[in-house]
Structure 1
Amino acid sequence: MARALLLWAFLARAAAVADEVKSLPGVATLKNKHYAGYAVVNETTDRQLFYWFVEAESGNQPGVTPNIIWMNGGPGASSIMGLMVENIGPLTLQQSGELAENPHAWSGKNNVMIIDNPVGSGFSFTGKESYVKSEKEMREDFYTALKFIFTQHPEYARNPLWVTGESYGGKYVPNVAYEIHIRGEFPLKGIIIGNGVYSGLIQNPTVPEFAYNQGLIDEHQLLESKLIIAELRGDVSRQLQTSGWVTRTEFNAAVAALQSTDYSLGGALDSAWLCLCGALVMFMHAGFAMLETGSCRVKNASNVLMKNLVNVCVGTLGWWVFGWAFAYGSQGTPANGFIGTDGFFGIGFYTVDATTGVISPLASCDADGCQSTMLSWFFQWAFCTAGATIVSGGVAERVKSPTYAVYAFFMASFIYPIIVAWSWGGGFLATITSVGYMDFAGSGVVHLTGGVSALAGTVVLGPRKGRFENPEEFECHNLPLVVLGTFALWFGWYGFNPGSTLGMHDGATGALAAQVAMNTTLAAATGGITVFLLRYVITKKYDVGGLCNGILAGLVSITAGCGNVECGSAFAIGLVGAFVYQGSSMLLQKLKIDDPVDASPVHGFCGIWGVLAAGFLDWGKGIDQYHGWSGWGCVTEGTACKTGLGGDAIGAQFALIGMVILWSGALSTIAFLVLKLTGLLRISEEVEEVGIDCKSHSPAKAYSLSAEAKSMNSVVCVQPGSKNAWGEATA
């Protein structure tokens, strides 16, 4: 306590603000506002950190004026040394012991703060000798003190924050910045470290060289100093040296080896991550199959299941033969901005050395590692076949299976890949404005493409016979399958959205994947419960099917912006997505458009909303600062955030929506119309009446029911002069 009392002897008399300093010895007028005091960070042990805060001489502009935190080295020295002796604060301590104005102060246009940290440093103290024993404890204490200060003075809390320090403070700065970053309450912009202490193993050997180059020691003293340091380093140094000292060549070789290991590890982690996420996306087909089968009538259950299986198989071949090449030929960014032109049939995915015969996979590399082209092919294949499956649900129960297989191939090999070439492949939509479009995981590229195509097929095919005359006959026949399919899709979405980070090579990528997963979860839950409540208000009945589609509506809505919106925005996106789905579903009913699984309301209309939301609700400052594809950071110009990008961003989103609707809608409509005019599109009325399963499948039933179940199931397969689905004679 003695040190604290000595300090407070120099502080001002009590002021209106409890911690405001009104005067200092020998200073006539304080040009800056000063605040000083103690923040209790642990009441049990009376652990208190001393702070001093100086407002910028130019005044504080909330949200604009930078807050700069300074930490001195020592260890144990008070950061007042930096505030009062170096060029940080507005006053400097003269040799005479008097305070004078500092013409070079950082506090001219910046708010400056020091916190004596950790406890025991400078004027900070603990009443029970409870000193910190870990970096985690240190940074948590510091954050508690910082929060206390900003609670006392909220006008500074949202200003851009910089954490700075020197010497031994270089150990504290990254730890403190990390704590501020993960808490996310204050807008941390960066750190600055001068002459920081980080590793004696690396730094100590440079001291003799520095002294020699400055003429402070001679060559003999240089060699003697090196010998002493080498002996002190002992076993640790032997890992990097061959003769008692690390030469530049040896050091560079060791660093290169470590970098090579990290580089290979980054590529391996990316590969494992994308293989796992691609498999999760592929598993979504099980969800689509269960959802569509349960939503349709029992007499067509086998056919719906078959279409989903055929869709994946045929779509895979289409992606292999043409799709990948059109979408990502020349590894993205097609030269013509429209379509890729190489990579058909997987040609060029690996090379063979003519001399050694060694086979090497084609890979794209950056600073984080290498990813093979085959890895990208696999992950993007899962997305391609998912987009085509959306159409399957919209045309269920009345489209001819061979015809749909042809369309699925066309979808996977041409319609969808061209959309990808324009967007994810680096085509013209990626550069249509200064920031390009934002569709992190595919609200537009995948879901809107599939939803618009499903709507085209539904309209061209027309409704199922009797759909709007006897609607009760078309209710889902197996609600458990619908719920199971919904959960499977939700589960697979954690590969769809987080996997679109396209890697897992460092902490920042992992944090972004976690943010994406959180947003995905919130939007799904919000969408589901909102539709459930809406339908209860309308019908006064619990609608489980509506709850399922509401969940999917939330998932589709968040897919575009899951990587650049806050969790509160994710809630809003799911909420609005639920209303978009419910409204569009009712619109289709009113227009007598028969979509058995609501594919176009869920994927098409909610896909549009998702793309728009990604632009409007970006977690930057809207038109002032925009993040988009930059993730955690804003779009920059030089060293600062580029401003005024909101109009560009929204314009790019509308361009993406327009091009997807025009391309997929036009081509799908043309394809379905041609098939309809040739009589190849729709099944006959006879087949529609008895069910596709009875007419075209063997066995002619999807379920083997017990006698009790048969008596409860009124839907039977009847053909004159034949037997029904359970082998009983018919009239």
Structure 2
Amino acid sequence: MASITCSAADLQPLLGANATAAAEYICYRFDAVSNKFVDTGYAVDNTYLLFSAYLVFAMQLGFAMLCAGSVRAKNTMNIMLTNVLDAATGGIFYYVFGFALAFGTPSNGFIGQHFFGLEKFPSPSFDYGYFLYQWAFAIAAAGITSGSIAERTQFISYLIYSSFLTGLVYPIVSHWFWSADGWGSPGRADNLLFGSGVIDFAGSGVVHLVGGIAGFWGAIIEGPRIGRFDHAGRAVALPGHSGTLVVLGTFLLWFGWYGFNPGSFLNILKTYGDSGFYYGQWSAIGRTAVTTTLAGCSAALTTLFGKRLLAGHWNVTDVCNGLLGGFAAITSGCSVVDPWAAIVCGFVAAWVLIGSNKLAEKFKYDDPLEAAQLHGGCGSWGIIFTGLFAKKAYVNEVYGGQENRPYGLLMGGGGKLLAAHIVQILVIVGWVSITMGTLFMLLHKLNLLRITADEEMAGMDLTSHGGLAYVYTDEVERKNMFGETKDSSAV
């Protein structure tokens, strides 16, 4: 923030006798007030960023509830524990390695090189609030992946893949597109990607596509859950045990998304032109909250009526997933599109999710939370959407005006931004496939990935976590009387 300056030399001719002392005194007091304004500006921006970080972290509770409700009761303890450990292991590994690989500037275009273990923090570039905010994003990517491989994965595998994803795979992708040094960053002066860079404002690609592709490879290598497809290859529904938890988790995620998308501005006290005008970054933040809301609402309603036509009933779980698909899609372009475009984004996202689920059934792909379809499919659509609908005025405000900066194809900005975004999709899919695909295959070869058939039938809560999440009196009595435990697979 620029400070207000005062020069004693300028005041001396106006003050007469004792001019020098008076001018120095006035300037001293003036500078003190100016510094207070500067300090206040830093405090306001850092408070805004910390509050946004708290909202994004609250999404972990949303993920936990959504995952718990989407699996069968016999695996509830397992999936909730994995969500807790995504945050815990992610915190340590992102602190030691991840943040430095993502934002350790100065660096090359591929990988960061400074701030390992938050060495030399805070700095003129970053304060602690920025680390906390970026950590919350990193563990969100890990949470997406855990849903794809739920109900059949050895617990040790969760710890290994979560550490690898948050400590290496995700940070390098975020460096490419969010660090000022990244080869695909829109903030890089000598941009290497069509002179444009990628406008992935809050991470349809960096977070959602990364988590979705990682989960896709885990689920593919593990194979479907027992009973998901019958002997004829037809899909068999294995519904989650609690629609209540699904709805609770969805609303918590919706609430947290107001930190995820609007919070990605990182600061709020910024003008877009002359000071004192009512329009500034605070207005862009409000617009971003509106586009986020409208995309989710549009996707939810489209899913509601689309599934009614296709399946003949109104399904709350499908509507919740459709809503989240709209959020995942708008996350890329939320800051640079008009509200009407967000409605288009959500409408298409709903059909992308419905179509992806149909393909998953056709190819016998099993993802208990539709995570790869939702975050990978809708995230990819969101990246393309931004390349089509990004508005010139908003792009220049949010990313800084530069001559002939590319913007959305359908808004008259040419095809460079869309081309950059297609490249982003390809490199993320390639990078995550090579790294996470190799890791999951290695775990599979070492017999560390999937649990045994007997364990899967009994449920992981009993076999790995010492008991069920829900204790029923008849089961407790049966265990006490006969020394046996009822199969809870139908619970």
> 1:254 offset after TM fit, Å?
4.8
Q: Is the 8 A contact 1:440 1:629 kept in 2?
A: no
Q: In 2, Cα distance between the equivalents of 1:660 and 1:389?
A: 18
> 1:465 offset after TM fit, Å?
0.9
State whether structure 2 residue 65 is matched by structure 1 residue 310.
no
State whether structure 2 residue 368 is matched by structure 1 residue 613.
no
Q: Corresponding residue for 2:210?
A: 449
Which secondary structure state, in structure 2, belongs to the residue aligned with residue 423 of structure 1? Answer: helix
Counterpart amino acid of residue 116 in structure 2: F
> 1:379 offset after TM fit, Å?
0.6
Q: Is the 8 A contact 2:360 2:366 kept in 1?
A: yes
Which residues of 2 match residues 85-96 of structure 1 at below 5 A? none
Q: In 2, Cα distance between the equivalents of 1:326 and 1:335?
A: 9
1:154-174 Cα deviation digits (max 9, x unpaired): xxxxxxxxxxxxxxxxxxxxx
Q: Corresponding residue for 2:175?
A: 421
Q: In 1, Cα distance between the equivalents of 2:312 and 2:167?
A: 46
CA change 1:585–1:401 in 2 (3 A) is: same
Residue from 397, 412, 420 that aligns with 1:630? 397
Q: Is the 8 A contact 2:335 2:394 kept in 1?
A: no
CA change 1:649–1:689 in 2 (3 A) is: same
Counterpart amino acid of residue 497 in structure 1: N
Q: Corresponding residue for 1:722?
A: 484
Q: Which consecutive residues of structure 2, in runs of 5 or more, have no partner in the other structure?
A: 1-5, 186-190, 272-279, 406-410
Residue from 468, 471, 474 that aligns with 1:704? 471
> 1:255 offset after TM fit, Å?
4.5
CA change 1:582–1:592 in 2 (3 A) is: same
State whether structure 2 residue 252 is matched by structure 1 residue 477.
no
Determine which structure has the larger helix proportion and give its number: 2
Q: Corresponding residue for 1:379?
A: 133
> 1:445 offset after TM fit, Å?
0.5
Which residues of 2 match residues 491-502 of structure 1 at below 5 A? 491-502=255-266
Counterpart amino acid of residue 456 in structure 1: W
Residue from 306, 310, 335 that aligns with 2:107? 335
Q: In 2, Cα distance between the equivalents of 1:246 and 1:471?
A: 87
State whether structure 2 residue 293 is matched by structure 1 residue 521.
yes
State whether structure 2 residue 262 is matched by structure 1 residue 262.
no
Q: In 2, Cα distance between the equivalents of 1:380 and 1:242?
A: 57
Q: In 2, Cα distance between the equivalents of 1:449 and 1:242?
A: 70
CA change 1:572–1:634 in 2 (3 A) is: farther
Counterpart amino acid of residue 87 in structure 2: V
Which residues of 2 match residues 287-366 of structure 1 at below 5 A? 287-330=62-105, 334-349=106-121, 361-364=122-125
Which secondary structure state, in structure 2, belongs to the residue aligned with residue 484 of structure 1? Answer: helix
Q: Corresponding residue for 1:693?
A: 461
State whether structure 2 residue 369 is matched by structure 1 residue 586.
no
Which secondary structure state, in structure 1, belongs to the residue aligned with residue 415 of structure 2? Answer: helix
Q: In 2, Cα distance between the equivalents of 1:526 and 1:473?
A: 26
Q: Is the 8 A contact 1:438 1:629 kept in 2?
A: no
Identity value in percent: 35
Counterpart amino acid of residue 432 in structure 2: S
Q: Corresponding residue for 1:437?
A: 198
Q: In 2, Cα distance between the equivalents of 1:242 and 1:286?
A: 68
Which residues of 2 match residues 179-328 of structure 1 at below 5 A? 249=24, 252-328=27-103
Q: Is the 8 A contact 1:390 1:450 kept in 2?
A: yes
Counterpart amino acid of residue 428 in structure 1: W
Counterpart amino acid of residue 486 in structure 2: N
> 1:259 offset after TM fit, Å?
2.9
Q: Is the 8 A contact 1:447 1:603 kept in 2?
A: yes
Determine which structure has the larger strand proportion and give its number: 1
> 1:721 offset after TM fit, Å?
6.4
> 1:706 offset after TM fit, Å?
6.0
> 1:472 offset after TM fit, Å?
5.2
Q: In 2, Cα distance between the equivalents of 1:725 and 1:464?
A: 17
* Number of residue-to-residue matches in the alignment: 453
> 1:646 offset after TM fit, Å?
2.6
Residue from 449, 457, 462 that aligns with 2:223? 462
> 1:373 offset after TM fit, Å?
2.7
> 1:528 offset after TM fit, Å?
0.7
Compare 250-259 and 571-580 and name the one that shifted more.
250-259
1:204-261 Cα deviation digits (max 9, x unpaired): xx9xx9xxxxxxxxxxxxx9xx79xxxxxxxxxxxxx997999765565454334322
Q: Corresponding residue for 1:369?
A: none
Counterpart amino acid of residue 659 in structure 1: V
1:546-580 Cα deviation digits (max 9, x unpaired): 10001001100100000000000011111111111
Q: Corresponding residue for 2:304?
A: 532
User: What's the TM-score once normalised by structure 2's chain length?
Assistant: 0.86
1:34-71 Cα deviation digits (max 9, x unpaired): xxxxxxxxxxxxxxxxxxxxxxxxxxxxxxxxxxxxxx
Q: Corresponding residue for 1:598?
A: 370
Report the aligned-residue RMSD. 2.8
Counterpart amino acid of residue 469 in structure 2: A
Q: In 2, Cα distance between the equivalents of 1:242 and 1:662?
A: 75
Q: Is the 8 A contact 2:204 2:331 kept in 1?
A: yes
CA change 1:465–1:337 in 2 (3 A) is: same
Q: Is the 8 A contact 2:201 2:332 kept in 1?
A: yes
Counterpart amino acid of residue 203 in structure 2: G
Which secondary structure state, in structure 1, belongs to the residue aligned with residue 113 of structure 2? Answer: coil
Q: Which consecutive residues of structure 1, in runs of 5 or more, have no partner in the other structure?
A: 1-201, 210-222, 228-240, 350-360, 365-371, 621-625, 711-715, 727-731
Q: Is the 8 A contact 1:627 1:634 kept in 2?
A: no
User: What's the TM-score once normalised by structure 1's chain length?
Assistant: 0.59
Q: In 2, Cα distance between the equivalents of 1:499 and 1:242?
A: 53
State whether structure 2 residue 405 is matched by structure 1 residue 648.
no
Q: In 1, Cα distance between the equivalents of 2:255 and 2:472?
A: 30
Q: In 1, Cα distance between the equivalents of 2:209 and 2:90?
A: 18
Which secondary structure state, in structure 2, belongs to the residue aligned with residue 348 of structure 1? Answer: coil
> 1:723 offset after TM fit, Å?
2.4
Q: Is the 8 A contact 1:628 1:635 kept in 2?
A: no
> 1:628 offset after TM fit, Å?
2.9
Q: Is the 8 A contact 2:202 2:260 kept in 1?
A: yes
Q: Is the 8 A contact 1:554 1:578 kept in 2?
A: yes
CA change 1:261–1:475 in 2 (3 A) is: same
Residue from 519, 544, 552 that aligns with 2:316? 544
Counterpart amino acid of residue 229 in structure 2: F
Q: In 2, Cα distance between the equivalents of 1:467 and 1:540?
A: 22
> 1:627 offset after TM fit, Å?
4.5
Q: Is the 8 A contact 1:627 1:633 kept in 2?
A: no
Q: Is the 8 A contact 1:435 1:645 kept in 2?
A: no
Q: Is the 8 A contact 1:627 1:635 kept in 2?
A: no
Q: Is the 8 A contact 2:60 2:143 kept in 1?
A: yes
> 1:342 offset after TM fit, Å?
1.9
Question: Which structure has more RCO (C-alpha within 8 Å, separation ≥ 6)?
Answer: 2
1:6-38 Cα deviation digits (max 9, x unpaired): xxxxxxxxxxxxxxxxxxxxxxxxxxxxxxxxx
Q: In 2, Cα distance between the equivalents of 1:591 and 1:725?
A: 30
Which secondary structure state, in structure 2, belongs to the residue aligned with residue 682 of structure 1? Answer: coil
Q: In 1, Cα distance between the equivalents of 2:146 and 2:439?
A: 15
Q: Corresponding residue for 1:355?
A: none
Which secondary structure state, in structure 2, belongs to the residue aligned with residue 646 of structure 1? Answer: coil
Q: Is the 8 A contact 1:266 1:506 kept in 2?
A: no
Residue from 154, 159, 177 that aligns with 1:400? 154
